[in-house]
Structure 1
């Protein structure tokens, strides 16, 4: 691996380079949208999956869980491999399981191949942090802030557009078309990355052995934790299976941490993640991930519950998706504003403001939850805050880690957000399951249950703002490893 090129070639997206900055950012943002699309692709099919696959509802739920688990395990691994062997190369590699998983799902006739295909699709979630890290390598500094914000917003856009798209296809065509279209988009993304996106820098400091034991330890601990969190309500929070998984997770992650501190080439450099700026940003990311996901669980249910309940709005799946879509687009529309705020006041302020805006969205929901237009306003406010917060997190992380750890650190931050979302799903699920009302012999979440869930989401968003305020305003500069420092000429001896 060679050293970083000279300044003339340091940014291949500049006018004299191999491509325009706009095209590179556009392709990477499209890749992020397609990867995020996989998360909501099967939501309209959840109720029909047992019949379509000839299985039970419990088994069919693994179609969702498999994607979550695969993404959690693959994201930090992809980040480390990207630092070692090149981010563009890993981006291309991650499009392969996206295509293969989509095709496998499209031809599936039973639950096992469908779950396998969905797990392959989950591997592609590492695209977003890798793409953000690559931007640091190939863009000039003046374009980096807005491009990072736009790339971060791609996750919200993909998730928001996935619902109406999937619902429209499910209503008017075969469910298999969903996966054929997803495979086609994934293949297109791979071709565009190969043609448009330049190679990033690979620092000599990133060379070394891949930490296989660290990857196994982190993966095992995460799988046990997320299985317990996502399935605890089904298996019982006090069941032997759930408690056993929590215990296995605690032991595996503790052992992983000890190993990472002792090995020479760790999967995740825990000493770097312990730096105050990185540590507090990751903690805020967990809380923002929780707050973001809570409203995405509450609002769709309020939109779809029958009007006869007195608080439901009676919308179809298709209509619900259309009411939710503008909020995702809002994240991308406000990306330039977030970048300007970061440039003027710093990413710490942007993260704090974004968290406060999310809490305002939850507060407004308590008064506006009685109409479709009111809930549209709520989602617009919440996603405005999410867009600001998500755009600031990579800037905070990359400002506190050396170049050779960019992809690994960003991927770990993405993992923290995913853990926050998973915990949110469990907590809000318990609240809505406990506070119910009888409707025609069926237990439905009550209005008070939704209000409690909204209060929890708002409180967590406020906590995220408080944590963001504790991030050091002027962190110590990160010393570059010897492999990344320019050579210092040896002075000539005096005559």
Structure 2
């Protein structure tokens, strides 16, 4: 890796550390945030739903703007918006102000795809461009996981010492520093090669489709699968999505090139990202509640403290970092396809381990360690593989779609898991008792099954390694 690329990765790593802080810092504080805002603990779930919906829409729109206007410019503006939203979160005096600011923070999910697009642009003349991008992506994911650990530890250390407003300023400050790092350390890349404009009709239809589908999934979580409103929203969302596909196919400047998504080098990556999202975004809360459940009361569970759960999460994050760093080496030894398939199989094996082994903390750490290695490799490699397979002028769009589809997969899993773990079939009655053990076994089975399906999808990538490393101009 050249000195210029090393320098670029170093400044972009500052952005990913901030991203990790955003993802790890708030988790230990949710109960304190609920008390700070004078809301019930259950209302915290609205934060997750609002941010996921924002991310699902923001990523494809901002990714397209990155291809049209410049990846560095969009990364800079997305970081500024996230920083301002972070300060809004810290200073919000009411639930609704906090919710709006929290939702806007979801634009940070476009950072990694935009950074990979920048690496792709800056290494265009290198003979080993795909390997350079994979190594750079692995280092960025390592920085992300460092940020997650630092954020979680900082929150736990500062919460007893500072007031809540001051505690909540830390992520905003980290994002502000990331903005400065981009401003001074990331120079403009070559002029954008994409032509056209932002597809406003397509953007509007996509927003309506996501509002319907994700809104329906939220209602499923709240009222269970028997709610007619949930199914109505889902059907309406899917109908609008079908209209979106028709509009995009006729557009001369589509928000998402749906025909390109059907290419043999693209659809397996995007489908795998959606399936992977079911475990990487959907399984953390079930893991936490299972671990905290007292086996003397429920007949299952680990009955451990919050500190022990933090150790499991810490192990998972460390293993993700290891997986990300090993992914370029595995790609050289096994080929890109072999590396991606192997990583997905590891995720499936990790969650499948929970099915027979779930009685002790050591069992949980073994399962999450295996899944973490595979997850880290996929987080780093899927956006890079999508960017490499993209047509000219669409690298950010392709990389960003892996995050968007991953988010949607997480939303689907979140709804399914909420139903599976509801003791009465509806999570609207939290006092009904512990979830059945069969619910947790269903969660682990879905995670393992979705990861295995992701592996099967990735196995459909071209066999010849050269096909994955050819210049993007030939991959339209």
TM-score using structure 2 length = 0.89
Match 1:470 to one of 440, 447, 460: 460
Q: CA deviation at 1:162?
A: 4.5
Residue 387 (structure 1) aligns with: 376
Matches within 5 A, 1:14-413: 14-15=2-3, 20-55=4-39, 59-139=43-123, 140=126, 141=129, 142-152=131-141, 158-159=147-148, 162-204=151-193, 206-309=194-297, 310-413=299-402
Q: Tell me the distance in 2 between the aligned counterparts of 1:377 and 1:435.
A: 31
* Contact kept in structure 2, 1:358 and 1:381, CA below 8 Å: yes
Cα offsets for 1:225-270 (capped at 9, x unmatched): 1121133221343334322321221122111111111111111111
Q: Tell me the distance in 2 between the aligned counterparts of 1:63 and 1:159.
A: 18
Q: Tell me the distance in 1 between the aligned counterparts of 2:345 and 2:243.
A: 36
Distance 1:243 1:156, change over 3 A: farther
315-324 or 455-464: which moved more?
315-324
Cα offsets for 1:329-367 (capped at 9, x unmatched): 222233232101213332211111011111221232234
Distance 1:14 1:46, change over 3 A: closer
Q: CA deviation at 1:152?
A: 4.2
Distance 1:339 1:361, change over 3 A: same
Q: CA deviation at 1:185?
A: 0.2
Cα offsets for 1:127-164 (capped at 9, x unmatched): 11111111111234253221122334555555565444
TM-score using structure 1 length = 0.85
Q: Tell me the distance in 2 between the aligned counterparts of 1:351 and 1:82.
A: 26
* Contact kept in structure 1, 2:219 and 2:229, CA below 8 Å: no
* Contact kept in structure 2, 1:145 and 1:343, CA below 8 Å: no
Q: Tell me the distance in 2 between the aligned counterparts of 1:162 and 1:262.
A: 45
* Contact kept in structure 1, 2:14 and 2:181, CA below 8 Å: no
207-216 or 42-51: which moved more?
42-51
Q: CA deviation at 1:71?
A: 1.1
Cα offsets for 1:83-120 (capped at 9, x unmatched): 11111111110111221111111112211110111012
Q: Which structure has the bigger radius of gyration?
A: 1
Residue 411 (structure 2) aligns with: 422
Q: CA deviation at 1:274?
A: 1.3
> Any stretches of 5+ residues in structure 2 without a counterpart?
none
Q: Tell me the distance in 2 between the aligned counterparts of 1:111 and 1:173.
A: 21
Q: CA deviation at 1:215?
A: 1.4
Q: CA deviation at 1:416?
A: 0.8
Secondary structure at 1:328 match in 2: helix
Q: CA deviation at 1:54?
A: 3.2
Match 1:456 to one of 431, 443, 446: 446
Q: Tell me the distance in 2 between the aligned counterparts of 1:57 and 1:327.
A: 25
Secondary structure at 1:277 match in 2: coil
Q: CA deviation at 1:182?
A: 0.5
Cα offsets for 1:351-400 (capped at 9, x unmatched): 11011111221232234422223322221110101112223312321232
Q: May I ask how many residue pairs the two structures share in their alignment?
A: 462
* Contact kept in structure 1, 2:221 and 2:415, CA below 8 Å: yes
Cα offsets for 1:26-48 (capped at 9, x unmatched): 33233134234434544334445
Distance 1:159 1:249, change over 3 A: farther
* Contact kept in structure 2, 1:29 and 1:151, CA below 8 Å: yes
Q: Tell me the distance in 2 between the aligned counterparts of 1:161 and 1:464.
A: 31
Q: Tell me the distance in 1 between the aligned counterparts of 2:93 and 2:206.
A: 33
Secondary structure at 2:121 match in 1: helix
Q: Tell me the distance in 1 between the aligned counterparts of 2:358 and 2:455.
A: 24
Q: Tell me the distance in 2 between the aligned counterparts of 1:161 and 1:227.
A: 33
Secondary structure at 2:433 match in 1: strand
> Any stretches of 5+ residues in structure 1 without a counterpart?
1-12, 485-495
Q: CA deviation at 1:199?
A: 2.0
Instruction: State the Cα RMSD in Å.
Output: 2.7
Q: Tell me the distance in 2 between the aligned counterparts of 1:427 and 1:357.
A: 22
Cα offsets for 1:436-489 (capped at 9, x unmatched): 9xxx975112333222321222122211111111222244967739xx9xxxxx
Secondary structure at 1:275 match in 2: coil
